[in-house]
A and B are shown apart, each in its own frame.
Chain A
């Protein structure tokens, strides 16, 4: 007698998945995400999903400017994620990108406001170096405490975010313009000093192109750093086993501090971009939650900066589209959050199918 039923589905681990197959499965997962979302949209609000998607696409790419906005936001999100990846590869849960970005932004704004007439090359050098430094220090603090006293980095980096926000409020009140507005306003609106598009040739759209170029450089740097350098190797070893690192002559505390300085610096650099290339102002919402969204980006991309561009693009697209469908159809933004949720689920689901083979169990064969 057979007491138990044979399991209907049969799972087994799979190896040697080719790159093409990986890409194919992931693309299918995204398409599937859109199809499922379409069904959900239709089932709940009885709207034609094609129309909704069209409207989302219009929100993200409808006009030249919108397209540039989407690209620019994608790149900045990627920059933060690339910075976080350095820490995550070390299994150091840096959730303080918001704060690291803000202090980088403060440093940038400081030079834009106080030294607008400096020669552009010198001004940009100051802005970039100080934003990197500020972010590095903000990352180094939790790294140092972890290295010396093994403090919990999750709490530490999180709490530093709030300090950075307070610091930003303080600076905003110092620099507020016009007086009494409690905002900084657009810095150097007339001269565009310190606007990144203005670095070599004056002009508005230069901001976007520079952002793309610079972030691509950052991605390349992070990719090479993590995969091809001795320091990157040390980061991976420390992330996997501190004891093994110690055994093989890696000074673990130094690696913690060094890597967190780099991680923080890149997030600070994203703050520089956000101020110099995007808003040309500083406020407590300059980071705007992107420091947290970037955590998802980094993990979904498995720490590969070039995948991060794709993931960031998808998330930015959904975000921009959400605003658009909210106004076009009178839906609130939760609609787009549902779509985003379905999408993430599909992308994560694809990982399962890449790691496991699933087959229907063959019916009982003729064995006596």
Chain B
């Protein structure tokens, strides 16, 4: 049977349930050798679950998997490896104090306790040359950038002889340049006859790198199209199930007034390194102020300083309340800010590490902001319940329950909706969001953009820290560009260009004198 081996993977009628939740329902998926397949779907549509069944992390409740035409049973990651499947997870699994080479051979049997460094390095170099990787076998993992760590992960599975590679959102943590490099490597692997599956939310990446696109929606297989026949619009419709407009509406709010004045602030991190230096800007009510910058340029510290979580070394932050009086924010902790009646909302970057309590259900997470209200020592349990139900209904949060299931069991998009919904429900005058759409699918992202714009039109000052320049330029009114903890420039988002902002991100002042 000639056509048998044409398919590297065939998944037939795969079903997987978690309790009452059906994560995958009768999914069929084919992957040919020598092609790149994009797996597309909204958050919670079951992409990662499906891939984890190939990786041996989950075992399907129903259905069959064929590898190179033969029926396969993948009960453990080891089995998965036996079939030549290599998974590159979102979170890297590397030992920090080991070198790249040591991580690559870790766990392999090798020849009787000996580690032949020379031949190992040679093998790694061969792989690197063949596919165009940039890797130093002797570099320790803790010295590596995110992109270098990812390279080690990929070389690791290749070294172990994987023919089928699954990359779970590999570009979420990469800069545009690094993404291009990764795609070049992927194309080389494809040319070498490897089969690749890539999960990504970024449609332009899907269109640029893949040969075919398979779409899942709510755990069900919707279909598979050739990339050359697809557009961003058509893919979005398949994913969401209805037509969606991909334009961000940017109305103008007329009566802008200063609401927050950040004056020359300097912040040091726990390690004593300056994270922000002499940062000044003003945020106005009725305006979305975008903060652009390469990841780690001080965005996190800036928002935390305003929220009272980070201490300032110098400078001041002033809030102008609704009576026009100045209130000095710097020096207050979050409780002082609440007691002063300052309506400040903050959607932090780290959802479970800061914004939410992972093990609590939706209601208690909603309550986090309001539990102090009401007299006496007892908790009010009815108001938060009603509010949670309202947020769940308004934002279409998909959850089996609002007060029993821990929020960590919801998918990323739904978690983010709860967090953003809670912060907006406090009717803030100042709303800060850090990477509010990170890891979210396109439909949820646009929901969030609309919510922020709605807040802006109510006269709220919105501070939006983002990583996608296209979105920043479409959504924000003004942009503060950070570079290495300093303000590189403040520009009008309506008139500036992507190139100009890009230059300012990498060089203070954008290279102009």
Interface residues of A (CB under 8 A from B): 1-7, 10, 12-16, 228-233, 236-237, 240-241, 243-244, 246-251, 367
Given contacts A2-B70, A4-B74, A246-B309, whether A14 and B19 have CB atoms under 8 Å apart is: yes
Going nearest first, the 6 A-B pairs with the smallest beta carbon separation are: A15-B19, A249-B334, A249-B335, A240-B357, A4-B73, A243-B354
A/B interface sample: 19 pairs, CB < 8 A: A2-B71, A2-B72, A3-B73, A6-B75, A7-B75, A12-B19, A13-B19, A15-B20, A228-B381, A233-B364, A233-B371, A243-B350, A243-B354, A244-B353, A244-B357, A247-B309, A248-B368, A249-B338, A250-B335
Across the two chains, which residue of chain B brings its CB closest to A224?
B378
Answer yes or no: B105 CB below 8 A from chain A CBs.
Answer: no
Question: Main secondary structure on chain B at its contact with chain A?
Answer: loop
**Candidate in B334, B369, B381 with the most chain A CB atoms within 10 angstroms:** B334
Minimum CB–CB distance for B420 against chain A, Å: 15
Which residues from A are CB-within-8-Å of B381? 228
CB distance from B490 to the nearest CB of A (A): 27
A248 touches B379 (CB 8 A): no
Complex Cα spacing A229 to B348, Å:
27
* Contact pick for A244, options B12, B19, B354, CB 8 Å: B354
Q: Does the CB pair B307–A230 fall under 8 Å?
A: no
Q: Which of A7, A10, A13, A240 contacts B358 (CB 8 A)?
A: A240
Contacts of B350 in A (CB 8 A): 243
Q: How far is A250 from B378 in the complex, measured between Cα atoms in Å?
A: 16
Nearest CB in chain B: distance from A335 CB, A:
40
Contacts A2-B72, A15-B19 supplied; 14 other A-B pairs, CB < 8 Å: A2-B71, A4-B75, A5-B75, A7-B75, A12-B19, A15-B18, A16-B19, A228-B378, A240-B360, A241-B352, A243-B354, A244-B353, A247-B309, A247-B355
Q: Is the CB of B64 within 8 A of A12?
A: no
Q: Is B113 an interface residue (CB 8 A)?
A: no
Q: Is the CB of A230 within 8 A of B61?
A: no
B346 contacts A by Cβ under 8 Å: yes
Q: How many residues of B contact A (CB 8 A)?
A: 50
**Residue from the list A2, A4, A229, A237 in contact with B357, Cβ < 8 A:** A237
Q: Which residues of A contact B400 (CB under 8 A)?
A: 15
> Complex formed: what's the CA distance from A21 to B276 in Å?
56
Which residues, 33 to 79 on B, are CB-close (under 8 Å) to A?
59, 61, 64, 70-75, 79
CA distance A243 to B59 in the complex (A): 36
B296 lies within 8 A of chain A by Cβ: no
Interface centre among A5, A13, A15, by most chain B C-beta atoms within 10 angstroms, is A15
Decide: A249 near B337, CB < 8 A? Known: A4-B82, A6-B73, A244-B368.
Answer: yes
Residue of B61, B337, B367 touching A12 (CB-CB under 8 A):
B61
Decide if B507 is an interface residue (CB 8 Å cutoff).
no
B358 cross-chain contacts in A, Cβ below 8 A: 240-241
B359 interfacial by beta-carbon distance below 8 Å = yes
CA A3 to CA B59, docked complex, whole Å: 16
Contact A247 B75 (CB under 8 A): no
Is B355 touching A244 in the complex (CB atoms < 8 A)? yes
Question: Which residue from chain A places its CB closest to the CB of B80 in the assembled complex?
Answer: A4
A39 to B352, CA, bound (A): 48
Q: B450 within 8 Å of A by Cβ?
A: no
Q: Tell me the nearest residue of chain A to B372, going by C-beta.
A: A230
**Alpha-carbon distance A291/B367, docked complex (angstroms):** 35
Contact yes or no, A229 B335, CB < 8 A: no
Q: Which residue of A lies closest to B374 (CB)?
A: A230
How many Å from the CB of A253 to the closest CB on chain B? 11
Task: Find chain B residues with CB under 8 A from A243 CB.
Answer: 350, 353-354
Whether A13 and B18, one on each chain, are in contact in the complex, defined by CB atoms closer than 8 angstroms, is: yes
Contact B335 A15 (CB under 8 A): no
Q: Of A14, A236, A251, which one neighbours B333 at CB under 8 angstroms?
A: A251
Q: Which chain A positions have C-beta within 8 A of B74?
A: 4
Decide if B19 touches A1 in the complex (CB within 8 Å): no
> Is B405's CB within 8 Å of the partner chain A?
yes
The interface bits of chain B over 4-19 (1 if a CB of A lies within 8 angstroms of the residue's CB, else 0) are 0000000010000111
